[in-house]
Amino acid sequence: MTSEIVIIGGGVIGLAIAIELKLRGTGVTVLCRHFQAAASHAAAGMLAPDAENIPHGAMRSLCWRSRALYPDWTRKLEELTGLNTGYRPCGILAPVFEEAGGQRVGGEKLILSSPSSPSSPAYWLNKEAIHQYQPGLAAEVVGGWWYPEDAQVDNKALAHVLWTAAESVGVELKDGIIVEAFLQQQEQVVGVQTNAGIIRAAHYVLASGAWSNELLPLPVVPRKGQMLSVRIPEFVPELPLKRILFGQDIYIVPRRDRLIIGATSEDVGFIPDNTPEGIQKLLQAAIRLYPQLKHYPIQEFWWGFRPATPDELPILGTSYCQNLTLATGHYRNGILLAPVTAALIADLILSQKSDPLLADFHYSRFQSKPSTSTPMLTHSANFSNGHHPAISPQHSPLIIAGKTFQSRLMTGTGKYRSIEEMQQSIAASDCQIVTVAVRRVQTKAPGHEGLAEALDWTKIWMLPNTAGCQTAEEAIRVARLGREMAKLLGQEDNNFVKLEVIPDLKYLLPDPIGTLQAAEQLVKEGFAVLPYINADPILAKRLEEVGCVTVMPLASPIGSGQGLKTTANIQIIIENAGVPVVVDAGIGSPSEAAQAMELGADALLINSAIALSPNPAAMARAMNLATVAGRLAYLAGRMPIKDYASPSSPLTGTITS
C-alpha cells in the first residue's frame, strides 16, 4: 500500500494532524495499534496553560496559541461530524491552603488583584471572595487564583469526534496495526514494518505518544497518571462545580453528570492498572479540597501514560530523515496542544514553512556528542549523531512490562562448570536479563552458592524462575520467594517471574493448566509473569488475556539442544501475540537462534547451549551476535523465494556483439 502521508499513532495528535493534512488536499493514512489505549482517552481534558503554570517562553506561547484556536477548531469538527466535543470555556480556579503560601496573601483586602497579563489574566481572590465565588470549598482554603481563559474539552468525546471527522473527510484509518520498525535507507524512510507487512508512503509522521521510544531512540518515557470519576448524585439539584478546581497534586473537572478527579504522576514505566495507593491519594486530596464529594458515588477508575520528555516540552518538527516528521512528547498538555500541533506540522510538511516557534521543540536539543563506537554493536546507538544504520535493533528495544532492554538475548545461571565460566559467559553474551532458579538458590545447588555476589545486579535484571515446581501452588509459593530474593539483591521494583510448572520429569514439558492457573493468581498479586509453555498458540493467547507480560514457547525440550522443532506453532504465536514472544528452551546453536529471531521472535532465552559448550564464553558471544543478526534480518525482511534461478548481474544493458 502506498499513501502520500502515513501517520503513526491514533491519539489526538495523530488524528488532528491527519485531518489538517487531508483538508489541505493530501492523502493520509493513520496507523494505530489500539485506538482506545491512548493517553488521549485517559486525560482530564483541561486546556490549562495558566493553571498548569507553564513557564514563560516558547512553551507558554505555544499553549496560549493552541488554547486560542480551540473554539474555532472544535466548531469545525462539530460541523463535520454533528457530534459534540464538550468544549467549555469554563475557567479554572486554583484554591490555596495556608501552608502552600496562602498566608502570604491571605490577609489582603483586595477581592480582585490586577491581572498579570492582558491576554491571559490571572486574578487573586482572597478568602472571602473565593468562598463566595465557589461555595463548598474546604474551610482551610485561604484564597486562590482565578484563570478565566483556561478551559476544558471532553477529551474522550474529542477523540471520538476526531476519529469520526477523519473518517468523514477521507483519512484512511487503520486500527490494530502495530508499527514495528522504520525501514530506512540513507536519510529516507522507505517504509514501516508492521504486523500486517510493510507499508510505504512518501512522508511519515511519528505521533505515537508515550510509545515513541519503541520506534526511535527519542527520550520519550511514559509518566503514568491514575484518575477516577464520581457521579453527581440525584440529591444534588444542579452541577455543584461550574469551573475546574486545580489544587496541589489534585484537580477536579466538572463534566455534565460527573466529576473527574486526577491525577497521579508516576515514573513506573508501562505498568498498568489503578492501585489502592494511587486512588487513596487522589480521594484524600479531592475530599480535602472539596469535602462534599465524599458522599458522591464512585463511577470509574482508569489510568494512562503521558508522553514525557526530559525538559517536559514536546518534540516537534523535522528529524534526521528528510521524510519523517516528529510530533510527540506532549506530556501533560497534549489535549491542549492538538490544534496548534496540527497546524504547525501541516505547514511544515506541505509548505516547508517552519514556524519560528518550532525551533524550541526540535529533537536536536537532546543531541549529545557523536558516538565513536559502532552503533550496531553498542547499546548506545545515538539518534542524534546523524549516522544511522539502515535499521538498527537499538531502534526497537525489547520492552517487557514497561521495562526497556536493549539486548534480546536472555541467559541463565545453570549447568556451568564454575562460577567464573558463568560470569565470563554472561558478560560475553551482553545480556541484560538473567534467569535464576529460586529453588536452586534456596537449596544452594552446585553453581548457585555465591550467586548474589557473582553477578552485578545493578546492571543485570534478575528473572527469578520457578524451575522444579510441579504444581501451580508450588510455583506461586516459589514466585513469592523469588520476588523477595530480587528485593534482597537491591531490585526493589522487580516483580518479574518466569513461571515454570513442570510435572513431567522425563521430557520436562510444562503443564498448560497448572501454568494458566498459577499465571492468573500471580498476575492478581502484581507479578509480571513470563510463562514457559509448550508452543501452543491457544494457550499463549489465554495467558496473554489473563495479563502475562510475555509468552515463552519452547523450541524443543529443555536442555535437549534439538533446535527449532515447533516452528509452525511459534510462527502462529508470533502472528497473534500482543506481548513479546520469547523463544525458550531447546536452541542448540547460533544458527537456530538466528532462525528463531528471523521468524519474528522478540527475544530468546538460551542457557544449556552456552553452558554446555566446551567454550561457553565464546558461544555466549556467538549467541549474542546471532540474536542481533536474526533481529536485523527480521527487520530488513528476507527476499522472496523463487522457483528458478535469477542471475545476480542484470542481463539487460549488457553489451552484445
Binding site for ligand GLY (CB under 6 A): 44, 46, 225, 262-263, 306, 332
40: contact with ligand FAD by CB under 6 A: yes
State how far the Cα of 207 lies from the Cα of 365, in Å rounded to an integer: 19
| Closest CB to ligand GLY among residues 263, 619 | 263
Residue 42: name its binding partner from ligand FAD, ligand GLY, none (Cβ under 5 to 8 Å by kind).
Answer: ligand FAD
| Total count of residues recorded for the chain | 657
| Closest CB to ligand FAD among residues 12, 293 | 12
Among residues 498, 524, 541, 642, which one is catalytic?
498
459 included as an active-site residue: no
Residue matched to cell numbers 564454575:
418
12: contact with ligand FAD by CB under 6 A: yes
Please list, in sequence order, all residues whose beta carbon lies within 8 angstroms of the beta carbon of residue 226, skipping any fewer than 6 positions away: 262, 263, 264, 266, 274, 275, 278, 279, 282, 301, 302, 303
208: contact with ligand FAD by CB under 6 A: yes
Three cell numbers written together for 256: 455534565
Three cell numbers written together for 272: 498498568
The mark string for 286-305 relative to ligand FAD (x by CB under 6 A, - otherwise) is ------------------xx
179: contact with ligand FAD by CB under 6 A: yes
Three cell numbers written together for 436: 535464576
| Closest CB to ligand GLY among residues 330, 498 | 330
Minimal distance in Å, beta carbon 43 to ligand FAD?
3
Please list, in sequence order, all residues whose beta carbon lies within 8 angstroms of the beta carbon of residue 80, skipping any fewer than 6 positions away: 164, 165, 168, 169
255: contact with ligand FAD by CB under 6 A: no
Of residues 1, 2, 24, 34, which one binds ligand FAD by CB under 6 A? 34
Phi, psi of 606 (to 5 degrees): -130, 120
The DSSP string of 181-209 is EEEEETTEEEEEEETTEEEEEEEEEE--G
> Nearest-CA neighbor of 76 among 391, 339, 344, 439?
339
| Closest CB to ligand FAD among residues 331, 527 | 331
Residues 314-343 that bind ligand FAD (CB under 6 A): 328, 330-336
Minimal distance in Å, beta carbon 46 to ligand GLY?
6
Minimal distance in Å, beta carbon 334 to ligand GLY?
9
Three cell numbers written together for 615: 567454550
| Closest CB to ligand FAD among residues 319, 328 | 328
Minimal distance in Å, beta carbon 44 to ligand GLY?
5
613: contact with ligand FAD by CB under 6 A: no
| Closest CB to ligand FAD among residues 263, 472 | 263
Question: Strands 197-206, 2-8: parallel, antiparallel or unpaired by DSSP?
Answer: parallel
- Which of helix, strand or coil describes residue 654? coil
State how far the Cα of 202 lies from the Cα of 2, in Å rounded to an integer: 8
Question: Strands 28-32, 172-175: parallel, antiparallel or unpaired by DSSP?
Answer: parallel
11: contact with ligand FAD by CB under 6 A: yes
Which amino acid, residue 175? Answer: D
Of residues 3, 5, 10, 464, which one binds ligand FAD by CB under 6 A? 10
Of residues 5, 6, 7, 14, which one binds ligand FAD by CB under 6 A? 14
Residue 38: name its binding partner from ligand FAD, ligand GLY, none (Cβ under 5 to 8 Å by kind).
Answer: ligand FAD
| Closest CB to ligand GLY among residues 14, 225 | 225
Minimal distance in Å, beta carbon 125 to ligand GLY?
22
Which amino acid, residue 306? Answer: R
Minimal distance in Å, beta carbon 66 to ligand GLY?
13
Minimal distance in Å, beta carbon 210 to ligand GLY?
12
Which amino acid, residue 178? Answer: I
State how far the Cα of 446 lies from the Cα of 105, in Å rounded to an integer: 70
Please list, in sequence order, all residues whose beta carbon lies within 8 angstroms of the beta carbon of residue 25, skipping any fewer than 6 positions away: none
Residue 393: name its binding partner from ligand GLY, ligand FAD, none (Cβ under 5 to 8 Å by kind).
Answer: none
Minimal distance in Å, beta carbon 225 to ligand FAD?
3
Residue 637 contacts residue 184 (beta carbons within 8 Å): no
Task: Verify cis geometry, omega within 30 degrees of 0, for the bond prior to 263.
Answer: yes
Task: Verify cis geometry, omega within 30 degrees of 0, for the bond prior to 555.
Answer: no
| Closest CB to ligand GLY among residues 49, 531 | 49
Of residues 6, 17, 44, 577, which one binds ligand FAD by CB under 6 A? 44
Q: Is 468 left (phi over 0), alpha (psi -120 to 50) or beta?
A: left
- Which of helix, strand or coil describes residue 129? helix
The set of catalytic residues is: 498
Residues that bind ligand FAD (CB under 6 A): 8-14, 31-35, 37-40, 42-46, 177-179, 207-211, 214-215, 225, 227, 262-263, 304-307, 328, 330-336
